Amino acid sequence: MSRVLGADSRPGTPQGRLRSEKTKTRTALLRTDAQRYAEKAQALIRAQGDYSHITVSFLGRSFFVASQESDGPRPIARLTYLGNAQFGLSFLTHQARWEAMPASGTLESVIPEMLNLLGPYFQRMDFPLRKSGTSH
Protein backbone atom coordinates (compact mmCIF):
# COMPACT_ATOMS: atom_id res chain seq x y z
CA MET A 1 0.00 0.00 0.00
CA SER A 2 2.83 2.45 0.73
CA ARG A 3 4.17 1.78 -2.77
CA VAL A 4 0.94 3.07 -4.34
CA LEU A 5 0.87 6.18 -2.13
CA GLY A 6 4.51 6.89 -2.90
CA ALA A 7 3.91 6.47 -6.63
CA ASP A 8 1.06 9.01 -6.60
CA SER A 9 3.30 11.76 -5.22
CA ARG A 10 6.07 11.39 -7.81
CA PRO A 11 6.16 13.86 -10.70
CA GLY A 12 6.10 11.12 -13.36
CA THR A 13 2.76 9.66 -12.32
CA PRO A 14 -0.51 10.65 -13.99
CA GLN A 15 -1.53 12.64 -10.93
CA GLY A 16 1.82 14.47 -10.96
CA ARG A 17 1.42 15.32 -14.65
CA LEU A 18 -2.06 16.61 -13.99
CA ARG A 19 -0.74 18.97 -11.31
CA SER A 20 2.01 20.15 -13.67
CA GLU A 21 -0.50 20.88 -16.47
CA LYS A 22 -2.69 22.89 -14.08
CA THR A 23 0.32 24.93 -12.98
CA LYS A 24 1.32 25.67 -16.59
CA THR A 25 -2.20 26.83 -17.42
CA ARG A 26 -2.31 29.15 -14.41
CA THR A 27 1.14 30.58 -15.27
CA ALA A 28 0.07 31.18 -18.88
CA LEU A 29 -3.00 33.05 -17.68
CA LEU A 30 -0.88 35.17 -15.35
CA ARG A 31 1.45 36.10 -18.21
CA THR A 32 -1.52 37.00 -20.38
CA ASP A 33 -2.95 39.15 -17.58
CA ALA A 34 0.45 40.74 -16.96
CA GLN A 35 0.81 41.64 -20.63
CA ARG A 36 -2.68 43.14 -20.60
CA TYR A 37 -1.93 45.17 -17.44
CA ALA A 38 1.38 46.42 -18.91
CA GLU A 39 -0.32 47.58 -22.11
CA LYS A 40 -3.12 49.23 -20.12
CA ALA A 41 -0.66 51.04 -17.82
CA GLN A 42 1.36 52.30 -20.78
CA ALA A 43 -1.82 53.54 -22.51
CA LEU A 44 -2.99 55.29 -19.33
CA ILE A 45 0.39 57.03 -18.92
CA ARG A 46 0.54 58.16 -22.53
CA ALA A 47 -3.03 59.47 -22.36
CA GLN A 48 -1.99 61.89 -19.57
CA GLY A 49 0.31 64.00 -21.77
CA ASP A 50 3.51 63.88 -23.82
CA TYR A 51 4.76 60.55 -22.50
CA SER A 52 5.45 58.67 -25.75
CA HIS A 53 8.98 57.97 -24.44
CA ILE A 54 7.63 56.08 -21.39
CA THR A 55 7.37 52.28 -21.58
CA VAL A 56 6.01 49.64 -19.22
CA SER A 57 7.48 46.14 -19.03
CA PHE A 58 6.82 43.32 -16.60
CA LEU A 59 8.61 40.55 -14.79
CA GLY A 60 6.44 38.35 -12.60
CA ARG A 61 4.22 40.59 -10.46
CA SER A 62 6.34 43.71 -11.02
CA PHE A 63 5.67 46.27 -13.74
CA PHE A 64 8.59 48.56 -14.51
CA VAL A 65 7.92 52.07 -15.80
CA ALA A 66 10.94 53.42 -17.68
CA SER A 67 11.93 56.38 -19.82
CA GLN A 68 13.56 55.52 -23.15
CA GLU A 69 16.80 57.48 -23.28
CA SER A 70 19.51 57.51 -25.96
CA ASP A 71 21.64 55.13 -23.87
CA GLY A 72 18.74 52.74 -23.12
CA PRO A 73 15.78 52.57 -20.74
CA ARG A 74 16.00 54.45 -17.43
CA PRO A 75 13.73 52.87 -14.76
CA ILE A 76 11.63 55.37 -12.83
CA ALA A 77 8.92 53.49 -10.96
CA ARG A 78 7.63 50.02 -10.23
CA LEU A 79 4.01 48.96 -9.95
CA THR A 80 3.59 45.76 -7.93
CA TYR A 81 0.51 43.62 -8.49
CA LEU A 82 -1.14 43.10 -5.10
CA GLY A 83 -4.04 40.95 -6.31
CA ASN A 84 -7.64 41.72 -7.25
CA ALA A 85 -6.52 44.31 -9.88
CA GLN A 86 -4.76 46.41 -7.19
CA PHE A 87 -1.23 47.80 -7.50
CA GLY A 88 1.33 49.31 -5.16
CA LEU A 89 3.82 52.00 -6.22
CA SER A 90 7.58 52.16 -5.64
CA PHE A 91 10.24 54.65 -6.75
CA LEU A 92 13.82 53.84 -7.78
CA THR A 93 16.13 55.95 -5.59
CA HIS A 94 19.56 57.27 -6.57
CA GLN A 95 20.98 54.39 -4.49
CA ALA A 96 19.27 51.90 -6.85
CA ARG A 97 16.77 50.81 -4.17
CA TRP A 98 13.01 50.54 -4.56
CA GLU A 99 11.21 52.65 -1.97
CA ALA A 100 7.49 52.23 -1.40
CA MET A 101 5.32 55.27 -2.01
CA PRO A 102 1.98 56.16 -0.40
CA ALA A 103 -0.15 55.14 -3.36
CA SER A 104 -2.03 51.94 -4.14
CA GLY A 105 -5.19 50.98 -5.96
CA THR A 106 -6.33 50.23 -9.48
CA LEU A 107 -4.25 51.31 -12.46
CA GLU A 108 -6.76 54.07 -13.14
CA SER A 109 -6.08 55.59 -9.70
CA VAL A 110 -2.37 54.80 -9.29
CA ILE A 111 -1.15 56.10 -12.69
CA PRO A 112 -2.32 59.73 -12.19
CA GLU A 113 -0.97 59.67 -8.62
CA MET A 114 2.38 58.33 -9.87
CA LEU A 115 2.61 61.09 -12.50
CA ASN A 116 1.70 63.68 -9.88
CA LEU A 117 4.26 62.47 -7.32
CA LEU A 118 7.09 61.78 -9.78
CA GLY A 119 6.29 64.34 -12.49
CA PRO A 120 9.80 65.71 -13.12
CA TYR A 121 11.22 62.21 -13.58
CA PHE A 122 8.77 61.56 -16.41
CA GLN A 123 9.72 64.64 -18.43
CA ARG A 124 11.46 64.08 -21.74
CA MET A 125 15.24 64.56 -21.51
CA ASP A 126 15.86 65.84 -25.03
CA PHE A 127 18.22 68.67 -24.16
CA PRO A 128 22.02 68.47 -24.47
CA LEU A 129 23.85 67.45 -21.32
CA ARG A 130 26.80 69.78 -22.04
CA LYS A 131 26.74 73.52 -22.46
CA SER A 132 27.21 74.71 -25.98
CA GLY A 133 27.79 78.08 -27.56
CA THR A 134 29.78 80.88 -26.00
CA SER A 135 31.53 80.32 -22.73
CA HIS A 136 30.78 82.79 -19.94
The per-residue pLDDT for 90 is 97
Per-residue pLDDT of the chain (136 residues; tens, 9 = 90+): 444 444 444 455 444 444 444 444 433 347 889 999 999 999 999 999 889 999 999 998 999 999 988 888 999 999 999 888 999 999 999 999 999 999 999 999 999 999 999 988 888 776 555 555 555 5
**Model-level pTM greater than 0.75?**
no
The one-letter amino acid at 31:
R
Q: Which of 91, 84, 88, 85 lies closest to 65 in space, CA to CA? A: 91
Going from N- to C-terminal start, the domains of the chain cover: 13-122
- Spatial separation of the C-alpha atoms in residues 132 and 106, rounded to whole Å: 45
8 A C-beta contact, residue 115 and residue 48: yes
SS3 of 48, please? Answer: coil
Distance CA 93, CA 34 (A): 25
pLDDT of residue 136: 53
Q: Distance from CA of residue 54 to its chain's centroid?
A: 12
- How large is the angle between the packed helices 2-9 and 14-46, nearest 10 degrees? 20
* Predicted local distance difference test score (pLDDT) of residue 70: 81
